[in-house]
Amino acid sequence: MKRSPRLALAALALGLSAVAGREPPPAPPREQPPQAGRALRETLPQLEFDKLRRERVGLPRGDPFAPLRPAVRAKRSEPPAVAAPAAPPVPWRYLGTLIDEGGTSVYLIRGEEPVRASAGATLAGEYRVEEVTASAITLLYLPLGTRHSLAIAGRE
């Protein structure tokens, strides 16, 4: 029983080889005599075949894989002007004035911290008291060199 599948397979292979060998050989390409081209040209109206010739394609210009750029380039604008740095609001408030033999001193407060200040004193390393008058205290913000005036309220 094992021989029948082998026998069937051998018969199939023999049949396929017989069929494969019966195909006709490919026909050789037909060549037209050179006279046929001339006769065709003479029968057609006067065509300008020279116009059909294309120029040779040269080397590619640029990188074909480069990202596309817009056709019109935008005019370069100048960067926006950077605003000059400004001093923060004065953190000190007027608390009171003391007048004694040594001169006039003012008391300022920042949060819950009272400070005695007179002309020339430095406050928290950021402000220097420039001048103390009857109506105002002039403070200099040291990092930027800007002056601020702190009004003295209730002084007559």
Q: Where are the domains of the chain?
A: 93-151
Q: Which of 129, 127, 126, 108 is nearest to 118 (CA)?
A: 129
pLDDT category, 73, cuts 50, 70, 90? Answer: low
Q: Which of 102, 100, 95, 87 is nearest to 137 (CA)?
A: 95
Sign of the C-alpha dihedral, residues 137, 140, 141, 142?
A: negative
Q: At residue 113, what are phi and psi to the nearest 5 degrees?
A: -105, 105
Q: Which of 105, 83, 90 is nearest to 140 (CA)?
A: 90
pTM: 0.46
Share of the chain above pLDDT 90, in %: 5
Distance from the first to the final alpha carbon of the chain: 133
Average pLDDT over residues 135-152: 89
